[in-house]
Amino acid sequence: PMGSERTEIRKRQMAATPETPSAAQAQLSTGNRGSNACCFCWCCCCSCSCLTVRNQEEERARRTSHELQAEGIPNCEESPAPTLEEVNAWAQSFDKLMLTPAGRNAFREFLRTEFSEENMLFWMACEELKQESNKSIIEEKARLIYEDYISILSPKEVSLDSRVREVINRNMLEPSQHTFDDAQLQIYTLMHRDSYPRFMNSAIYKDLLQSLSEKSIEA
């Protein structure tokens, strides 16, 4: 009887032996996946719960989201090349500059050099919002505008005073085409008083004016 028990135990051990490398290989494979997921961190979290990896994934998701959100705003508005008369008119008033796509494009190019392009992007997003009539689209666009340009967590946050922010927060309870009207006016005024005078003295404007003047003379 003892011999048969030993034989039975030996059989079970031999039957279990082939599974051991496979199990070890599976553990190794799992370990490798954990290391990759956690960027080879040593913080005992190799089951995709690594805070660093999670933050990176969330950041990629946010970046992708913002890229999709910005699809509605072209890098450059489509417009014919400005004429000499139009470019001269930009110097007459900020309103005339902002009335034409070519003017907004040139001004936006200048704002980019000053790292304040978000002011123009916000203004354009508000103008786009005003054209909407569908309630669900209005709510979605208002949310995206808030996340992109109003939230203090956004890298594209525009500069607004506390009073305007309070108005926006109240308006966001029931978003409409005019949720950001006060904020849009404040940013428009800021661009007018702060950035517009520098744009008129910038190389971007002067070079464009000179180029068109030379073409006019040649013609």
Q: How many CB atoms lie within 10 A of CB 79?
A: 13
Instruction: Output the six-digit token pair for 60.
Output: 């990629």
pTM, whole model, 2 decimals?
0.65
Strands, DSSP E only, in 47-149? none
Domain range 84-218, CATH architecture: Orthogonal Bundle (1.10)
Which parts of the chain fold into alpha helices (H)? 2-16, 19-37, 51-69, 84-90, 94-99, 101-113, 117-130, 135-145, 162-171, 181-190, 196-200, 203-218
**So where are the chain's domains?**
84-218
SS3 103: helix
SS3 81: coil
Are the beta carbons of 214 and 112 closer than 8 angstroms? no
Please give the chain's pLDDT, 219 residues, in tens: 545 555 555 656 555 555 444 444 444 444 444 444 444 343 444 444 444 444 554 454 444 334 434 444 446 678 789 999 999 999 999 999 999 999 999 999 999 999 999 999 999 999 999 999 999 999 999 999 999 999 999 999 999 999 999 999 999 999 999 999 999 999 999 999 999 999 999 999 999 999 999 998 886
Q: How many CB atoms lie within 10 A of CB 134?
A: 9
